[in-house]
C-alpha cells in the first residue's frame, strides 16, 4: 500500500496514471499462471481460454435470456449435454447450469435434492419438512457445510463420515449413520461423495455409496469440482466409476481443465427439478409471449438473476484442444504428480502423509528439517514440525520463487499439499520445488 496509491478520488486521473495503475496491479500481483505456482487447484493461463474471456467481456451480455445471449445460451446447452454424456447419463439427458463456482454448484445440489423430496419447502419453508440430515466425508469441501447453514438445515444436521487413511469415505460408516439417524426419526436426505478431495485428492467409492443411497432412497451428489476433469482421460476416469449413478454432479472446468476462473457446472440427472426448484416466473424477464421458444430462457432455473457468461472460454478451449487435448493435459499433470511422489517417497527429509500412489495430482508430505530428523515422535517433535511448513511458505513468498499450500488435517500437523493443474509445469519445476523446500528448510 506504500508504493501504490489505491485511493479513489472525485476527479479523474490521467490516462498515463491509469496505465501506471495497471502496470502496478500486475507488478504487485501474484503470478498464478507461473509454472511454479502450486498453491491452488486453479493455476495456469490458457491462451485460448484467455482469448475467450476477452471476447466474453467485449460482448458483455447476460445468460438469463436467449434474446440477449442467443449464441452463448446454445453453447451452454450443448456443452452441458456433452458433459452429461461423459458422465454417462443416457443420451446426455438431464439438466444443468453454470454457476459462479463449486460452492454454489454444491449448494444447488442440496436445494434440488430438497425440492425433489419435499417440494413444499419452497413455499412453506423448512418447518414443513421433517428433520432432514445430510452426509459428507470429513475430508469433503467446506461448501457442503456452508450450504447446510445457508439453506436452513443447520450444520448439526450435516453428518461427517469417517474416511480411510487415504481420505476416502468408508461406506459402512455411511450406512451405520443412516440407520442411526432413521432410528431417531430423522430423514436422511442427501449424501455427498467427493471425487477428488481438496487436500488428499481422494476419490470416494461412488458405486458402494450409490448402492446405499438407492437402498435408502437418498439423493446422491458427486462433488467432482476438482476430480471431474479426470473423466476426460481414458486412463483415469475409472476413479469416478459409478458417477453415472449420481443424481447430481458438480464439475469445475476452472480447476483441473485449466479454464480461466470462473467456470463451474452443476449437472442434474432428472430434468425439470432445477426449474421447479428455482423458478419464480418474473414477468419482466421471462415473458411467455416472446416470438421464440422460451424454453431457451434458462435464467429462471438459477438462483441468480443476471448471470455472467462463463461458457464461451470453455467452449472455445474445447474446440481448440478437442477432447483429446484435455485428456493429454490431465494425463500429463497426473504423470507429474507420480513423478513427484516417486521422487520424494523415500528421499531423506521427506515424509509422506500417507504412502500410496496419488489418485489425483495431490501429493501430501512433510519436510523434516535436519534438526528434527533424529527426534522420536512425540509432542515436542509434532509441535516443532507444525511450524515448519508455515515458515518455509513464508520464506517462499518472501523470495518469490514458488508457492505451495499447507494445512493441518485431523490429528496431522501442518503438511504441504502439492497440486498440479498447470499445463506449463514440467519435471524441472517439480525438481525445483523439492530443492527449494530443502534450501529454505535446511536451517529450521
Element (H, E) at 188: strand 187-194
* 261 or 343: CB nearest a copy of itself: 261
Instruction: For the CB of residue 268, give the shortest distance to a copy of itself in the complex, in Å.
Output: 16
* 27 or 215: CB nearest a copy of itself: 27
Q: How far apart are CA 344 and CA 216, in angstroms?
A: 44
Element (H, E) at 16: helix 15-27
| Alpha carbon separation from 88 to 184, 203, 241, 268 (Å, rounded) | 36, 18, 10, 12
Q: How far apart are CA 392 and CA 229, in angstroms?
A: 31
Do you know the residue count of the chain? 444
Tell how strand 412-418 and strand 403-409 pair up.
Answer: antiparallel
Cβ atoms of 248 and 223 within 8 Å: the answer is no
Please select the residue that binds a copy of itself; options are 136, 250, 409, 421, rule is CB under 8 A. Answer: 409
Please select the residue that binds a copy of itself; options are 172, 282, 356, 442, rule is CB under 8 A. Answer: 282
* 31 or 427: CB nearest a copy of itself: 31
Instruction: For the CB of residue 348, give the shortest distance to a copy of itself in the complex, in Å.
Output: 26
Interaction with a copy of itself in 321-380: which residues (CB under 8 A)? 321-325
Please select the residue that binds a copy of itself; options are 287, 371, 399, 426, rule is CB under 8 A. Answer: 287
> Which cell is 196 given?
477428488
The 3-class secondary structure across 73-116, one letter per residue, is: HHHHHHHHHHHHHHHCCHHHCCEEEEECCHHHHHHHHHHHHHHH
**Could you identify the residue written with the cell 436452513?**
152
| Residue 160 makes contact with a copy of itself by CB under 8 A | no
* 208 or 436: CB nearest a copy of itself: 436
Q: How far apart are CA 310 and CA 76, in angstroms?
A: 9
Please select the residue that binds a copy of itself; options are 2, 16, 123, 411, rule is CB under 8 A. Answer: 123
> Which cell is 45 given?
493461463
The helix-helix angle for 379-386 and 388-399 (nearest 10°) equals 20
Please select the residue that binds a copy of itself; options are 69, 80, 240, 334, rule is CB under 8 A. Answer: 69
* 211 or 407: CB nearest a copy of itself: 407
Q: Which stretch binds a copy of itself (CB under 8 A): 186-194, 339-347, 365-373, 408-416?
A: 408-416
| Residue 422 makes contact with a copy of itself by CB under 8 A | no
Please select the residue that binds a copy of itself; options are 34, 36, 38, 39, rule is CB under 8 A. Answer: 39
Please select the residue that binds a copy of itself; options are 127, 183, 295, 346, rule is CB under 8 A. Answer: 127
| Residue 149 makes contact with a copy of itself by CB under 8 A | yes
The 3-class secondary structure across 226-239, one letter per residue, is: CCHHHHHCCCCHHH
* 238 or 319: CB nearest a copy of itself: 319
| Residue 308 makes contact with a copy of itself by CB under 8 A | yes
Q: How far apart are CA 138 and CA 135, in angstroms?
A: 9
Interaction with a copy of itself in 72-111: which residues (CB under 8 A)? 72, 74-75, 78-79, 82, 100-104, 107, 111
Q: How far apart are CA 302 and CA 309, in angstroms?
A: 13
Q: Applying CB under 8 A, what is the total number of residues that bind a copy of itself? A: 130
* 141 or 269: CB nearest a copy of itself: 141
Please select the residue that binds a copy of itself; options are 135, 312, 366, 416, rule is CB under 8 A. Answer: 312
Interaction with a copy of itself in 172-231: which residues (CB under 8 A)? 198-199
| Residue 387 makes contact with a copy of itself by CB under 8 A | yes
| Residue 383 makes contact with a copy of itself by CB under 8 A | no
Amino acid at each position: 500500500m506504500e508504493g501504490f496509491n489505491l485511493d479513489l478520488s472525485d476527479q479523474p486521473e490521467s490516462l498515463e496514471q491509469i496505465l501506471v495503475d495497471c502496470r502496478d496491479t500486475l507488478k504487485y500481483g501474484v503470478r498464478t499462471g507461473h509454472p511454479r505456482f502450486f498453491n491452488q487447484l486453479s493455476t495456469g493461463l490458457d491462451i485460448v481460454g484467455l482469448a475467450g474471456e476477452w471476447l466474453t467481456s467485449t460482448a458483455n451480455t447476460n445468460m438469463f435470456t436467449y434474446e440477449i445471449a442467443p449464441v452463448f445460451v446454445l453453447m451452454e446447452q450443448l456443452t452441458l449435454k456433452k458433459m452429461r454424456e461423459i458422465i454417462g447419463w443416457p443420451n446426455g439427458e438431464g439438466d444443468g447450469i453454470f454457476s459462479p463456482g463449486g460452492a454454489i454448484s454444491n449448494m444447488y445440489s442440496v436445494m434440488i435434492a430438497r425440492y425433489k423430496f419435499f417440494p413444499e419447502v419452497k413455499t412453506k419453508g423448512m418447518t414443513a419438512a421433517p428433520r432432514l440430515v445430510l452426509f459428507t466425508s470429513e475430508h469433503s469441501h467446506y461448501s457442503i457445510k456452508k450450504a447446510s447453514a445457508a439453506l436452513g438445515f443447520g450444520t448439526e444436521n450435516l453428518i461427517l463420515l469417517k474416511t480411510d487413511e487415504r481420505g476416502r469415505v468408508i461406506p459402512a460408516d455411511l450406512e451405520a449413520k443412516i440407520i442411526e439417524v432413521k432410528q431417531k426419526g430423522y430423514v436422511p436426505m442427501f449424501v455427498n461423495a467427493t471425487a477428488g478431495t481438496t487436500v488428499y485428492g481422494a476419490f470416494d467409492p461412488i458405486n458402494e455409496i450409490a448402492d446405499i443411497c438407492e437402498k435408502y432412497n437418498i439423493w446422491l451428489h458427486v462433488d467432482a469440482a476438482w476430480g471431474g476433469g479426470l473423466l476426460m482421460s481414458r486412463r483415469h476416469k475409472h476413479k469416478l466409476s459409478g458417477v453415472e449413478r449420481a443424481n447430481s454432479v458438480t464439475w469445475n472446468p476452472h480447476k483441473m481443465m485449466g479454464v480461466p476462473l470462473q467456470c463451474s457446472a452443476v449437472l442434474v440427472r432428472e430434468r425439470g427439478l432445477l426449474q421447479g426448484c428455482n423458478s419464480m416466473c418474473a414477468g419482466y424477464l421471462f415473458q411467455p409471449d416472446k416470438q421464440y421458444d422460451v424454453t431457451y430462457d434458462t435464467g429462471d432455473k438459477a438462483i441468480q438473476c443476471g448471470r455472467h457468461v462463463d461458457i464461451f472460454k470453455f467452449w472455445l478451449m474445447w474446440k481448440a484442444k478437442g477432447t483429446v487435448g484435455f485428456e493429454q493435459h490431465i494425463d500429463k499433470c497426473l504423470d507429474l504428480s507420480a513423478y513427484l511422489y516417486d521422487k520424494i517417497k523415500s528421499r531423506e527429509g521427506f515424509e509422506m502423509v500417507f504412502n500410496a500412489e496419488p489418485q489425483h495430482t495431490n501429493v501430501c508430505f512433510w519436510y523434516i528439517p535436519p534438526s528434527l530428523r533424529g527426534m522420536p515422535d512425540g509432542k515436542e517433535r509434532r509441535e516443532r514440525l507444525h511450524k515448519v511448513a508455515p515458515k518455509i511458505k513464508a520464506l517462499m513468498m518472501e523470495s518469490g520463487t514458488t508457492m505451495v499450500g499447507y494445512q493441518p488435517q485431523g490429528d496431522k500437523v501442518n503438511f504441504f499439499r502439492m497440486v498440479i493443474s498447470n499445463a506449463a509445469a514440467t519435471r524441472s519445476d517439480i525438481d525445483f520445488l523439492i530443492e527449494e523446500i530443502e534450501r529454505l528448510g535446511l536451517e529450521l
